Each structure stands twice: as C-alpha cells, then as structure tokens.
Amino acid sequence: MAEPEPTSAAADHRSGPRRRGDVLEAAILDAAIAELTEVGYAQLTMEGVAARARTGKASLYKRWPNRAELVVAALRQHGGPPMATPRDHGSLREDTLALLRRGARSLNGLFGEAVRGLMAESLNNPELTENLRATMFTSRNRLMREILERAAARGEIAADAINPQVISFAPALVDHHFLIHGAPIPDEVLTDIVDCLLLPLLTSAPGSAARRHDVRGSRQPGMADAGATPESGTFTLHDQVPVSPTRADEAGVSEERT
C-alpha cells in the first residue's frame, strides 16, 4: 500500500533540505513577521508561524516559550542590530535628530507595520506591553539619556533637567505620529519635535537663559519652515500641537532684566 502523501506544512517541510541552527531560526523569525503583518498579533499562532516557516512547532518552542517572546525576537531581528549611541554631532539638536531619524527609518516597511499592530494590541495585553518596553523602549531611552547627558556636559542644558519624562518625550512623539499616520514619517515632523518642543522645554527651565542661544541659535532662521506665520504667532506640529515660538524667549528676557 502506498504511503499517504503528507499535507500542508509537513509536506513543505519534507520536500526541502533540512535546515538547522541560524538558518532555521532566521526562517522562523521571517515567518513570524509575515504572519504578524497579515493576521495581527491577536490571531497569530505558533502553528501558523510554523506552517509558514515550513517547520514543526517543536522547533519554535525549543527557542521561545510563547508567541510574545517569538514576536519580540522577530521584531529585534527585523529592526536591525541594537543601535549604538549616535556619534557626537556637536549639539543636542543634531544628536537628537540623528537618533530620531534612525528610529523613523526602522519603522518603514514590514517592521513598521508589525510594530504598529503590536503597539495597538499591547493596550490590552500586559505581557506584550512589558516585552515591547524591554525590547524597544528601554534601549531607545538609554540612548536618549546618553545624548542628554552629553548635552549637559557641553553646558547646553542643565543636568537636573534630565528626568524620565524628558528622556522619553521626543521618541514618544515620534511613536504617536507613527501610530496615527503610519510610515514614512516626514523629516519635518522630526525637526518640529526637536525645535518646537524638546529644545524649548529644556531651555525654558530656570537658569537656562545663558544656554538658550547655544542650543537653538543654529536653527532660528529655519524654524519658520515649521509652519509659523507672523500673523498666527504659533508653530504647529503636524496640525496637532500648537506651540508658541516666543514663550521661551520671553522667559529669557525676563530673567536677564531681573
């Protein structure tokens, strides 16, 4: 009697060469990203990933205990290697823009679509929230802290202005824009975040008047590009966050007169 033909994933797995080690792991992670993009986190299963990768579930469970760990590993691979601290560009503005631009580029394509779905799914999934925090946000915030500490060492900002809220502020605004509008993230959005929000926030603290010119001076001519008009007196961050361009400067004048 002829042996019945294997079906579905088993047939695909037997028909090709046996994969091991890094080759198999890469195929599984690619399959996880493809499944995540196609069906979303809520419908993603270990069975579906195994079928797409043309391997057995045991190969997945040997490496990752659950789907959350698998997805985090897949995001880590498709997001590229861990980002090193941006090289010293000589100013807080340029260092921050370099970090935000790298993050924005990583959100393009398949990786960005997967992250967007995961971030939405994580609102009702504490386990996934924690995994995302540990994988994406902790590393990014560490890099932002290093940039701010470097700026403080240069004398651009006060060291006591660095706190968890300030550290996560600019990257969180990039996330918000990405969740609402998707990719690609326009570069003018990144420059608005830095020039209209982050730098005024850091330079409006008491005792920062002497630092204000150093941090913002190189951008002053171009800040009109953010969409300000003489009539309105405001800058607008992608039509959502109005910011006064004169508030920080007025504070500086007040400090100098006292």
CATH number at residue 173: 1.10.357.10
13 and 59 in a single domain? The answer is yes
Q: What tokens appear for 249 in the block?
A: 């400067």
Rounded Cα distance between 62 and 70, Å, is: 11
Rounded Cα distance between 94 and 86, Å, is: 10
DSSP readout, 58-93? HHHHTT-SSHHHHHHHHHHHHT-SPPPPPP--SSHH
Nearest to 255 by CA among 221, 218, 194, 211: 211
In a domain, 3, yes or no: no
The yes-or-no verdict on residue 22 having pLDDT over 50 is yes
Half-sphere exposure of 140 (CA within 13 A, CB side): 25
Rounded Cα distance between 168 and 35, Å, is: 30
Neighbours of 240 (CB within 10 A): 11
Q: pLDDT tens for residues 195-245?
A: 999 999 998 865 554 454 455 444 433 333 444 333 333 333 434 443 433
127 and 216 in a single domain? The answer is yes
In a domain, 256, yes or no: no
The yes-or-no verdict on residue 109 having pLDDT over 90 is no
Q: What is the maximum alpha-carbon separation in the chain?
A: 99
In a domain, 136, yes or no: yes
Rounded Cα distance between 60 and 54, Å, is: 11
In a domain, 127, yes or no: yes
Highest mean pLDDT among 29-43, 66-80, 232-246: 29-43
